[in-house]
């Protein structure tokens, strides 16, 4: 199972498209959405929170610290936090597992599982960069939502697919969501 966490940063469409891609690839997904993430879904997209939950195979409550995914004995193949707010990034970097997203990230890192963090903020403060460095040094893959322009991206959907394809690449999941450099 790939666990997808959506936080309250702008860019929730990346998490939504990742869930769609996992479903298309027939890969089981787990989902956690922060309270702020739910607000952003409603404000940035035409999806309802229930629509997004329906894209996942397993849904976990943001406030349930007893959720199975919060245990090192739970077998997950990876975690993607997309988008990742700076609040969540800071909590993870500093070992503050106060909710299901930050706790599952703590577990994923300590168990040395693939952990992909897609930060969404610009410009960045030095502390944001330091927190990303801390997580990178612990094994997380920091994958900012920066679309490449070396292939033709005619639409916003193409740019979204580029980032989602790079996320899947980071998890070593074959995909054809974007045109590769030749």
pLDDT value for 149: 75
pLDDT of 181 reads 77
Give the model's confidence band at 53: pLDDT under 50 very low, under 70 low, under 90 confident, else very high: very high
In the predicted model, what is the mean pLDDT of residues 79-99?
98
Preceding amide of 52 cis, omega within 30:
no
List beta partners, residue 31. Answer: 4, 59
What are 75's two structure tokens? Answer: 């077998």
Rounded to an integer, what is the distance from CA 112 to the centroid of its chain? 17
- Cross-strand pairs, 60: 32
The CATH architecture one would assign to domain 2-170 is 3-Layer(aba) Sandwich (3.40)
Q: How confident is the model at residue 33 (pLDDT cuts 50, 70, 90)?
A: very high
Mean pLDDT of 149-178: 88
**What average pLDDT does range 63-91 have in this prediction?**
97
89-97 CB contacts, 8 Å cutoff, 24+ apart: 89/117, 89/119, 89/128, 89/131, 89/132, 89/135, 90/127, 90/131, 92/117, 92/131, 92/135, 92/140, 93/130, 93/131, 93/132, 93/134, 93/135, 94/131, 97/65, 97/70
**Band (154; pLDDT cuts 50, 70, 90):** confident
Grade residue 179 by pLDDT with cuts at 50, 70 and 90. confident
- How far from 94 is each of 65, 75, 104, CA to CA, in Å? 18, 24, 14
Listed by start position, the domains of the chain span 2-170
pLDDT of 175 over the 70 cut = yes
Note the pLDDT tens digit of each residue in 3-21. 999 999 999 999 999 999 9
Average pLDDT of the chain is 95
Q: What is the mean pLDDT of residues 148-157?
A: 77
Task: Give the pLDDT score at 153.
Answer: 65
pLDDT on residue 147: 81
Provide the pLDDT for residue 74.
97
């Amino acid at each position: 199972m790939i666990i997808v966490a959506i936080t309250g940063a702008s860019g929730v469409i990346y998490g939504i498209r990742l869930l769609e891609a996992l479903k298309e690839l027939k890969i089981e997904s787990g989902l956690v959405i922060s309270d702020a993430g739910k607000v952003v879904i409603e404000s940035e997209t035409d999806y309802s929170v229930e629509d997004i939950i329906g894209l996942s195979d397993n849904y976990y409550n943001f406030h349930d610290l007893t959720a199975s995914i919060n245990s090192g004995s739970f077998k997950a193949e990876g975690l993607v936090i997309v988008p990742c707010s700076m609040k969540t990034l800071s909590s993870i970097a500093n070992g503050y597992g106060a909710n299901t997203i930050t706790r599952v990230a703590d577990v994923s890192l300590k168990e040395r599982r693939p952990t992909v963090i897609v930060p969404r903020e610009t410009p960045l403060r030095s502390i944001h960069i330091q927190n990303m460095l801390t997580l990178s040094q612990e094994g997380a893959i920091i994958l900012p939502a920066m679309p490449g322009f070396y292939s033709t991206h005619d639409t916003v959907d193409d740019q979204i697919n580029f980032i989602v394809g790079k996320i899947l690449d980071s998890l070593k999941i074959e995909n054809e969501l974007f045109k590769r450099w030749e």
